Structure 1
């Protein structure tokens, strides 16, 4: 990550009206790495709930933009970790989390013994269990804490956290964890349970999106008005949160990604890998995964996950109107 000079950091703090005392910064502190759609919302929520936020992102402008409204921008995960006893990581996957912790200028080497690393990505539960052991060997506490709810709920402090961790980790970082979200589930006394519940959530989310797209595609093929179908289904027993949310994107003809097609290629892949290890059949998840794979290879990988509807032949999708 490129370095953000100290002058930028100091200016950000002054603009935020922060002040130091003889014992250090006067506000509660938390670090956050990864200012994407979810991470930016979480950081803003914590800032609004009284935390002095120390942030960084692979895009240096993102950290500086956040700090304009209060907080401290840093250039690397190591700098964030050196400034805070609790560090929240909100990146896409295990590979990016590895880079945050153990890559060049990674956080792990800079974290003090007794500090806490909160991991919010959707990952293989076994990888999360192993990460707890690796960080524990360095004297660092770990919270397995995948998140759900989307960017809007992250920004409003209403998202859900599915966490599991040792009691010592909760004791040290519980205030940050509770400050991030509307609901924090504590699902076990060691890593793994949080990630297992998250991938089960993703199984349902992916299947629901695929089913919603299939239903809307059939309606379009049969000549039903898309708007009328949406109105009826959202007031009938066949509705789901995913139909109501994602088919609104289809009606608007807007596939700007809030959650991309490739997210479900990854997440449903994790679901299937987990089930395969115990020879557990998942026919619906398997079919949904193939649908997202087809959409990805057809060129829609970076589009909104509702673009899975584009795999269906012989339909005319609504033109772009933009989202409300």
Structure 2
């Protein structure tokens, strides 16, 4: 069988990794990004850079969207030069953002009016796993959508969970994952902040915790950023303002209490309002008073200057 024609919109940290994985496996890609130059830089090593979502979607069997939120997805599909009008009936739109599940359910119906199949397919694992093809996808959609795009999903990720035959289930599972991720980052920051306040050597604390029962993937990953004094955003503070907000919105609809999520959300809100919105989400540690955070490690250029 001929390989499907794939378009990918959104070449941020995760999208660029996914695109690289697909290209490495021999797929020809049409790519687009709102930031000037990103698509051209990618296409310099293979692929076709497109100027708009509509141009990207034209002639594609599968269009993958890796943008930040529902608002950006709306723009990709239905904004000026939007992809929906250019997609062929029977093609598949794969939505990889973290969004309100009810919005995702409604999007499936809207796309069906255009004859477009839809997969609710949020992703997890970070930029490095996206680039190595080792990320996780939490997907839901009609069997016909899987029949056409299932091979593309398997090429993108090591784990592709099929959670239902209608949109919404993938987004619900992703939101629950984000509940844990956000709470774990907040708890990791709190633990490291307490250690610093009590005069414990930060590197020693990190070494002990990462080899003890209190460890979590988020402690091990994010507190390494704190030790390095490097808050370059791989996932920004404001991502968890958004994602934990979605967690609370989903629970509020069924009047379900989430005390830990509420506290973590307030911590990220505090960090955002204090000026750390676009820093790495580990910068939530900066809300704690009376601690001296590790300084940024000098680069080779800094050391030699």
1:41 is aligned, of 17, 29, 36, to 17
Structure 1 residues 322 and 146 mapped into 2: Cα distance closer, same or farther (>3 Å)? farther
Q: For residue 264 of structure 1, what is the aligned residue in structure 2?
A: 240
Q: For residue 6 of structure 1, what is the aligned residue in structure 2?
A: none
Q: For residue 115 of structure 2, what is the aligned residue in structure 1?
A: 139
- Listed as ranges, the gaps of 5+ residues in structure 1 are 1-25
Query: Is the contact between residue 60 and residue 75 of structure 1 (CA under 8 Å) also seen in structure 2?
Result: no
- Deviation of 1:49 after TM superposition, in Å, equals 1.0
Query: Is 1:70 the counterpart of 2:46 in the alignment?
Result: yes
- Deviation of 1:307 after TM superposition, in Å, equals 0.2
Partners of 1:79 and 1:274 lie apart in 2 by: 35
1:168 is aligned, of 137, 144, 148, to 144
1:92 is aligned, of 64, 68, 89, to 68
- Deviation of 1:323 after TM superposition, in Å, equals 8.8
Q: For residue 284 of structure 1, what is the aligned residue in structure 2?
A: 260
Task: Write the mapping of 1:121-160 to structure 2, written as runs, cut at 5 A.
Answer: 121-160=97-136
2:217 is aligned, of 234, 241, 244, to 241
Structure 1 residues 231 and 53 mapped into 2: Cα distance closer, same or farther (>3 Å)? same
Partners of 1:294 and 1:49 lie apart in 2 by: 43
Partners of 2:273 and 2:211 lie apart in 1 by: 34
Query: Is the contact between residue 59 and residue 88 of structure 2 (CA under 8 Å) also seen in structure 1?
Result: no
Partners of 2:261 and 2:197 lie apart in 1 by: 24
Cα RMSD after superposing both structures: 1.2
Query: Is the contact between residue 29 and residue 48 of structure 2 (CA under 8 Å) also seen in structure 1?
Result: yes
1:253 is aligned, of 224, 229, 232, to 229
- Deviation of 1:29 after TM superposition, in Å, equals 2.1
Q: For residue 198 of structure 2, what is the aligned residue in structure 1?
A: 222
Partners of 2:200 and 2:69 lie apart in 1 by: 39
Q: What's the TM-score once normalised by structure 2's chain length?
A: 0.96
Partners of 1:126 and 1:268 lie apart in 2 by: 16
Partners of 2:40 and 2:268 lie apart in 1 by: 35
Q: For residue 303 of structure 2, what is the aligned residue in structure 1?
A: none
Secondary structure of 1:170's aligned partner: helix
Structure 1 residues 322 and 267 mapped into 2: Cα distance closer, same or farther (>3 Å)? farther
Query: Is 1:301 the counterpart of 2:280 in the alignment?
Result: no
Partners of 1:296 and 1:257 lie apart in 2 by: 13
Q: What's the TM-score once normalised by structure 1's chain length?
A: 0.91
Secondary structure of 1:60's aligned partner: coil
Query: Is the contact between residue 233 and residue 280 of structure 2 (CA under 8 Å) also seen in structure 1?
Result: yes
Query: Is the contact between residue 254 and residue 323 of structure 1 (CA under 8 Å) also seen in structure 2?
Result: no
Deviation above 3 Å: which 4+ runs of structure 1? none
- Give deviations 1:45-94, integer Å, cap 9, x for gaps: 01111210100001231000000100001000001110311100000000
Q: For residue 14 of structure 1, what is the aligned residue in structure 2?
A: none
Partners of 2:111 and 2:132 lie apart in 1 by: 31
1:231 is aligned, of 207, 210, 229, to 207
Count of aligned pairs: 299
Partners of 2:3 and 2:95 lie apart in 1 by: 23
Query: Is 1:181 the counterpart of 2:185 in the alignment?
Result: no
Partners of 2:9 and 2:193 lie apart in 1 by: 39
Partners of 1:198 and 1:64 lie apart in 2 by: 31
